[in-house]
A and B are shown apart, each in its own frame.
Chain A
């Protein structure tokens, strides 16, 4: 999937804004948004927030997790944990890109926040690399990926699934031949892997 399509899905996340205008609600097909009262915070889909921010019609309130101290803790936890920890948002990297991209003036210490999010992303990326390598080495045809966010899952596609499909082809071919010639073969039975534990 294109990263833009993952972004598209992440844009539905709800986020808090403070509008600078008054208006009746907007009746979207996907649900009502508003009413808007100047200086009164309300929750809107991220794509609406970005649009309003670009028109300078609102201030964006960063999500709770987008805080330097919390992110420091998260980074430490991610570093000290062998498996993947649960992220505070299913779309953290998309939210970071969009919010920091358009509302740097609403968020204190954006550069540091950017850097630390990238650090977390990189730590997880390196865990992903070793998990993938392990899975291929074991020829595991199953893995739990519970704490991976959609962009992370998408980042190992198509390489991991395609490599496993080729392993499957090699393995299942064997059965066909041996059925034709003689009995069955013993194969390692621990064909499962896990990205979470």
Chain B
């Protein structure tokens, strides 16, 4: 009986997500996407557009499942397994969110500037509402601190901005056939490469940052 509850809850969510998008994405595919999103954020030097819709969706699932778990008899061997899956997903999500917070703390000023620019150009923000608020508060507290401690050299924190190294080398796996990626080797004469679906390469992040963002490749 309890399993039926869980099952119907799953189906409900699946239907919900169908309404929004023409493309039907199953829950296993969403978990796969969450894993890729986690790896992308882990290995990309800069902060990526947030994927909070996936996080929210999975968190909803987890909450529903955990509510139903309470009804399950403790002696049922399935309870431990359900709990394990919940723990695995929670790990994925919290590791992802933490990695983003880490980047926000380190590149705070640079990220906020880019967000401002994106807003002015009418583009989507990379940070979620909560992250944006965190970033602004964090930025303010750093500035306040510098102002009180470093009064003798004002403006340092505004002018000396720490930016991520977009020339970082990353490993990726291609999800599409892609032609004409420019290899950035630090000199002017740059070679081109083509990728076939499933290809794995080591390459400078700058050459492929757009492909990570549009989902044609994912970092590994």
Contacts and interface: CB of A to CB of B under 8 A. Distances in A.
B84 A29 contact: no
A162 B61 CA distance: 39
Contact of B77 (A57, A153, A187): A57
Interface in B66-113: 77-78, 80-82, 84-85, 88-89, 91
B82 A144 contact: no
Interface in B199-220: 199-204, 220
B202 A143 contact: yes
Nearest to B91: A8
Contact of A168 (B28, B31, B204): B204
Interface residues of A, number: 46
Q: Chain B contact residues (Cβ within 8 angstroms of A): what range?
A: 35 or more
A28 to B, nearest CB: 5
* Residue of A31, A141, A145, A168 with highest tally of chain B CB at under 10 A: A141
Contacts of B176: none
B186 A172 contact: yes
Which of A24, A29, A139 has the most CB atoms of chain B within a 10 A radius of its CB?
A: A29
A142 B203 contact: yes
B189 A161 contact: no
A190 B22 CA distance: 45
A43 B65 CA distance: 23
Interface string A32-65: 0000000000000001100100010100000000
Nearest to B58: A29
A191 B183 CA distance: 9
A51 B3 CA distance: 20
A129 interface: no
A116 interface: no
A145 B82 contact: no
Nearest to B76: A23
Contact of B183 (A48, A142, A150, A153): A142
Nearest to A148: B200
A64 to B, nearest CB: 21
A189 interface: yes
A4 to B, nearest CB: 10
A2 B171 CA distance: 15
Nearest to B68: A27
A6 to B, nearest CB: 10
A189 B186 CA distance: 11
Interface of B: 3, 6-7, 10, 27-28, 31, 35, 42, 58, 61-62, 65, 77-78, 80-82, 84-85, 88-89, 91, 165, 167-171, 183-189, 191, 193, 198-204, 220
Given A31-B28, A157-B171, A192-B191, 18 more contacts: A8-B88, A21-B77, A27-B6, A27-B10, A28-B81, A29-B10, A30-B27, A139-B185, A141-B184, A141-B185, A142-B202, A143-B201, A145-B202, A146-B200, A153-B220, A165-B168, A165-B169, A171-B185
